[in-house]
Amino acid sequence: MIKMKLRHRVISKLIDIMGHVYVYLDSKMPPVTGPILGLEIDDDFESMTRRELCNHIENKFGLEKDSFWFLQSTQKIRYCCQKARELMQPSKMDRGY
């Protein structure tokens, strides 16, 4: 049990370090523009930095400052998937509530 917790902490720390390296390297490259999986991306989103995009999500959904920014990548994807599901569901008004 203790080995598993230690292993989990080590892996988690490595992911965190790799995330910081990724963000640093990503900031040194020009943004990739154009459609993403066939979805046209608005110019304002295309020109935003990673930090600005995270701030936009935080503002849009009323999250605390930097709360989305500091999530691991998979957590960000999971959060956005859940929000997309909620946004795609019929509204209560559409369901007769």
Can you give the residue ranges of every domain in the chain? 2-88
pLDDT, mean over the chain: 89
Cα–Cα dist 82/78, whole Å: 6
pLDDT at position 60 = 94
Q: What is the chain's alpha carbon radius of gyration, rounded to the nearest angstrom?
A: 17
Contact 55, 69 (CB under 8 A): yes
Query: Per-residue pLDDT for 96 more than 80?
Result: no
Query: Per-residue pLDDT for 82 more than 80?
Result: yes
pLDDT at position 94 = 74
Contact 46, 31 (CB under 8 A): yes
